[in-house]
């Protein structure tokens, strides 16, 4: 099916080119047209508001800045009579340099036919600003003169690649993708020939986000200024209708219809001022913009697979030129741009460091730094040239560096020793001694990584996830591809995610219990958290705090209970011991006191014993108090 579509597209292009040649032959002998008429049907149908109203090849005539808005290769022709070619042009777009166009047209003159041969260029400067230039040669039967023109266009468009700030004028929803402002200066003569040049100023505005577009322009001329109004609306995706008016005169009314089929665009318009029907057709050569963007995105991914990030960035930039809202290209551009920006900073630092070592005649170190630059950017000319220049001196310097690396290894400075040996191997990969010592350093590093790994396993078995994670990360810092450590880090990540919700619920419950003074329940909740993750920092801290607080309160109330018991204040003693048991149900001594208080005979016997002791010491006042307490407990002890 796709092959059939491609054949139909190619056939339509060939048919279009054959018709163009036939019409051009007829047009060469056709009568001259009016000089002031528009070179395309659409700009005619919107009242000659072409300074912001057309983005095909005829922009070369109206406003060359608009050439850069369309990112396709186009052939455009306009006819005003069945055998009269009025305009024929071709536009070629390049992502880096903008759009170039050439055109031939029959301009109008009241006395004779005037031919205009022109070329121009349009370029996207930045954001919504475009600029363009044209140069032409007017061929009149009795004179020949060159002309130039230029134009500017402001058309802010929000995209994934270059989004506007929400606070800026260009980023306002009432402006972005809806407003266009254009300025064109046309037919500026060169030499002594005087011609009627024109300055055109125009604007267009889409009244609704997907509604009709209003066009307005004013043409400044030495003879007479003119005003131009137009309205265009697309009721269907590939069909639009338009109408226009000049100088508010009904007889200068115009209207038209525009339709698109695949890669061909048709415009048909009636010009009320000249009472003529115009026909314009444009053919896109090559693929459409979205397809071109997708192709360049695929090339960018292929470049990334080749580890050529800079080439990938160029491809993705091209993709975004053709389709600014290509989401995958925008995301890849942001990633590549930030990565390459960091790499460029690294390259600058390496080059500066290499130059310093080179100036000190430390050639092997300089060469190693240059090679590191080339590893990041294989096409870096500065590093390539420097390597070629100092290569003869590197061999002389390598043995001295080797001895320095051995000394660092013997001193236990394995990090710096590795850097020295790796620097030697960058410039002399076959150096036996450097390879040998690097293997020793690597073996030692593997042993260290293994120790951290087994430490992490121990913490993991104890549910100390944070400490286990830290140990595994230390192992990876030494051996980045340590697969077992990577696997356990992934497990820890999953377990932390699974435990997180339950731990959060327990924390809320524990904090509520603590605020309400139910310390035992709060402690139980914190300990439940520790059962899930034994090294949870907050749970560990709160557990220690609550245990200390509970111990202080237990001691305080137990001492109060003992003092009350000794003084015979039974109710106060019972209350104090019950408080101790509520905080610590397994407090043995408090339970024993409560048991004694629950048996009257036992309690009275204890008090009687204490009364006897105070009697022996002559403490009569205490004896009386204890006696009253004994009688309250056991009235039968009156004797």
Confidence class of residue 69 from pLDDT cuts 50, 70 and 90?
A: confident
Residues 6+ apart with CB under 8 A from 622: 611, 614
CA distance 48 to 34: 14
CA angle 161, 318, 303 (to 5 degrees): 105
> How far is it, in rounded angstroms, from Cα 175 to Cα 155?
9
Distance CA 286, CA 282 (A): 13
Question: Rounded to an integer, what distance in angstroms lies between the CA atom of residue 498 and that of residue 109?
Answer: 83
Confidence of residue 134 (pLDDT cuts 50, 70, 90): very high
Averaged pLDDT for residues 102-127: 80
Helix 570-583 / helix 519-532 crossing angle, nearest 10 deg = 20
Separation between Cα atoms, residue 32 and residue 27, nearest integer Å = 9
Cα torsion 291, 294, 299, 303 to 10°: value is 170
Per-residue pLDDT band for 183 (boundaries 50, 70, 90) equals very high
Q: If pLDDT is split at 50, 70 and 90, which confidence band does 171 have?
A: low
Q: What is the mean pLDDT of residues 248-266?
A: 86
Cβ-contact 98, 121 below 8 angstroms: yes
Residue with more model confidence, 86 or 111: 86
Could you write out the DSSP letters of every residue in 540-556? HHHHHHHHHHHHHHHHH
Query: Confidence band (pLDDT; 50, 70, 90) for 599?
Result: very low
Cα distance between residue 391 and residue 382, in whole Å: 14
* Beta carbons of 88 and 31 less than 8 angstroms apart: no
Q: Residue 174's pLDDT band (boundaries 50, 70, 90)?
A: confident
Q: Which of 293-307, 350-364, 434-448 has the highest mean pLDDT?
A: 293-307
- Between 593 and 219, the higher pLDDT residue: 219
pLDDT > 70 fraction of the chain, expressed in percent and rounded: 80
- Provide mean pLDDT across the span 435-441: 79
Average pLDDT, the chain: 77
Residue 126: is it exposed, middle or buried by C-beta count within 10 angstroms (0-12/13-18/19+)? exposed
Cα(507)–Cα(525) distance, integer angstroms: 7
Specify the pTM.
Answer: 0.54
Residue 5 has pLDDT above 50, yes or no: no
Asked if 474 contacts 502 with a C-beta cutoff of 8 angstroms, the reply is no
pLDDT of residue 133: 93
Q: How far, CA to CA in Å, does 126 sit from each of 64, 293, 296?
A: 16, 20, 22
Determine the average pLDDT of the residues in 453-457. 87
Lowest mean pLDDT among 351-365, 463-477, 623-637: 623-637
User: What is the enclosing helix (H) or strand (E) of 200?
Assistant: strand 198-206
Asked if pLDDT for residue 439 goes beyond 90, the answer is no
Between CA 118 and CA 123, with CA 119 as vertex, the angle to 5 degrees is: 140
Distance, in Å, from the CA atom of 534 to the CA atom of 541, rounded to the nearest integer, reads: 12
Annotate 329-357 with DSSP letters as a single string: HHHHHHHHHHHHHHHHHHHHHHHHHHHHH
* pLDDT for residue 100: 93
User: CB–CB of 85/30 below 8 Å?
Assistant: yes
């Amino acid at each position: 099916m796709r092959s059939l579509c491609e054949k139909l597209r190619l056939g339509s292009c060939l048919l279009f080119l054959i018709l163009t040649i036939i019409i051009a032959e007829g047009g060469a002998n056709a009568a001259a047209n009016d000089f002031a008429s528009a070179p395309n049907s659409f700009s005619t149908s919107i009242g000659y508001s072409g300074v912001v109203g057309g983005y095909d090849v005829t922009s070369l005539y109206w406003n060359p800045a608009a050439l850069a808005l369309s990112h396709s290769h186009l052939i455009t022709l306009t006819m005003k009579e069945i055998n009269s070619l009025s305009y024929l042009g071709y536009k070629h777009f390049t992502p880096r340099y903008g759009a170039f166009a050439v055109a031939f047209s029959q301009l109008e003159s009241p006395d004779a036919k005037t031919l205009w041969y022109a070329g121009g260029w349009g370029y996207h400067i930045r954001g919504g600003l475009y600029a363009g230039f044209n140069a032409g040669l007017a061929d009149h039967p009795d004179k020949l003169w060159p002309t130039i023109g230029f134009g500017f266009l402001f058309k802010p468009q929000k995209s994934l690649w270059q989004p506007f700030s929400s606070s800026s004028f260009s980023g306002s929803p009432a402006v972005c993708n809806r407003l266009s402002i254009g300025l064109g200066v046309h037919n500026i003569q060169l030499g002594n020939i005087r011609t009627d040049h024109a300055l055109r100023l125009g604007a267009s505005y889409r009244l609704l986000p997907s509604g009709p577009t209003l066009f307005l322009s004013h043409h400044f001329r030495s003879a007479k200024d003119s005003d131009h109004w137009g309205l265009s609306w697309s009721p269907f995706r590939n069909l639009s209708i338009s109408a226009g008016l000049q100088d508010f005169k009904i007889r200068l009314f115009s209207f038209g219809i525009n339709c698109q089929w695949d890669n061909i665009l048709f415009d048909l318009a009636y010009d009320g001022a000249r009472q003529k029907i115009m026909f314009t057709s444009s053919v896109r050569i090559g693929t459409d913009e979205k397809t071109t963007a997708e192709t360049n995105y695929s090339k960018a991914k292929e470049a990334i697979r080749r580890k050529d990030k800079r080439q990938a960035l160029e491809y993705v930039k091209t993709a975004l030129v053709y389709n600014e809202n290509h989401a995958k290209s925008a995301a890849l551009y942001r990633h590549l741009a930030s990565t390459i920006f960091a790499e460029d900073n690294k390259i600058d630092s390496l080059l500066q460091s290499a130059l310093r070592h080179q100036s000190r005649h430390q050639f092997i170190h300089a060469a190693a730094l240059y090679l590191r630059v080339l590893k990041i950017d294989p096409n870096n000319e500065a590093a390539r040239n420097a390597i070629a220049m100092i290569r003869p001196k590197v061999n002389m310097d390598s043995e001295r560096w080797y001895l320095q690396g051995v000394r660092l290894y013997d001193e236990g400075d394995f990090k710096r020793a590795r850097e020295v040996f790796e620097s030697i191997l960058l410039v002399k990969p076959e150096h036996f001694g450097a390879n040998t010592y690097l293997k020793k350093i690597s073996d030692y590093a593997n042993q260290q990584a293994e120790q951290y790994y087994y430490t992490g396993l121990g913490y993991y078995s104890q549910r100390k996830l944070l400490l286990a994670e830290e140990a595994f990360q230390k192992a990876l810092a030494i051996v980045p591809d340590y697969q077992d450590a990577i696997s356990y880090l992934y497990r820890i990540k999953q377990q932390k995610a699974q435990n997180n919700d339950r731990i959060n619920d327990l924390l809320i419950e524990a904090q509520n219990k603590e605020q309400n003074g139910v310390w035992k329940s709060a402690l139980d909740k914190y300990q439940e958290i520790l059962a899930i993750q034994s090294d949870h920092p907050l749970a560990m801290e709160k557990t220690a705090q609550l245990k200390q607080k509970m111990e202080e309160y237990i001691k305080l109330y137990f001492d109060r209970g003992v003092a009350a018991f000794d003084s015979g204040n039974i109710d106060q003693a019972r209350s104090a011991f019950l408080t101790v048991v509520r905080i610590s149900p397994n407090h043995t001594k408090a339970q024993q006191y409560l048991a004694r208080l629950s048996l009257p005979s036992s309690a009275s016997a204890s008090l009687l014993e204490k009364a006897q002791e105070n009697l022996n010491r002559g403490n009569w006042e205490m004896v009386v108090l204890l006696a009253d307490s004994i009688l309250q407990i056991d009235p039968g002890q009156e004797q």
